[in-house]
Chain A
Amino acid sequence: GAVVSQHPSRVICKSGTSVKIECRSLDFQATTMFWYRQFPKQSLMLMATSNEGSKATYEQGVEKDKFLINHASLTLSTLTVTSAHPEDSSFYICSARTVKGIDTEAFFGQGTRLTVV
């Protein structure tokens, strides 16, 4: 199956600093990638949809100036958490979808555990 690589897997940063998370589709071109956040024992919450070459579409309640998303190429999307605070500590996961007729499985990166201290 398709592979999505997410980096880093874990990061600890100081409050007020920024952290960049990368998501790469290794063996297919992903015109659309999605960024999710997951708090402990909760499900994945969609943050934004990242479209190659255009601005990301953010879900209601997600601050676009705080969570900067860039989709510079068909294989790379980045999420930058700016001015991080302890409440931003969470598990961030990207996914990319391949569209083959009606088969539109979503492939997930390994996730990034962000801890803001």
Chain B
Amino acid sequence: GQNIDQPTEMTATEGAIVQINCTYQTSGFNGLFWYQQHAGEAPTFLSYNVLDGLEEKGRFSSFLSRSKGYSYLLLKELQMKDSASYLCAVSGGYNKLIFGAGTRLAVHP
């Protein structure tokens, strides 16, 4: 079966660092994606991990441990515009992308 877990909601302060965790159990694994989604809009790509370790892209970093079925998204120097939902998605068999329920992040001044 497919199971992708993320916290439902998180809050953080502007300028701070926040880590959003994702655990997964899927029938196939070809990589893990993180997407950002603002309300009423389509998701936008943030990061992709297929090998263990940390991928850094500016203020965003993503980590993957395949043996533990675990990933996290790290957001640094938080800005108000980072308030959004963050979706963890696993690429499994047949090129499908299966999404977790998403984590709603609220950034406060």
Contact = CB atoms under 8 A, between A and B. Distances in A.
Interface stretch (A14-22, A66-74, A78-86, A107-115): A107-115
A71 to B, nearest CB: 14
A29 interface: no
Contact of B30 (A32, A49, A104): A104
A43 B98 CA distance: 10
B48 A103 contact: yes
A43 B45 contact: no
Interface residues of B, number: 24
B97 A97 contact: yes
Interface SS of chain A: strand
Given A103-B48, A104-B30, A105-B48, A44 B95 contact: no
Contacts of B45: 1, 105-107
Interface of A: 1, 6, 32, 34, 36, 41-46, 49, 57, 91, 93, 95, 97, 99, 102-111, 113
Given A46-B97, A49-B95, 17 more contacts: A1-B45, A6-B42, A41-B104, A43-B87, A43-B99, A43-B101, A44-B87, A44-B99, A46-B96, A46-B98, A57-B94, A97-B95, A97-B97, A102-B30, A103-B48, A104-B95, A106-B89
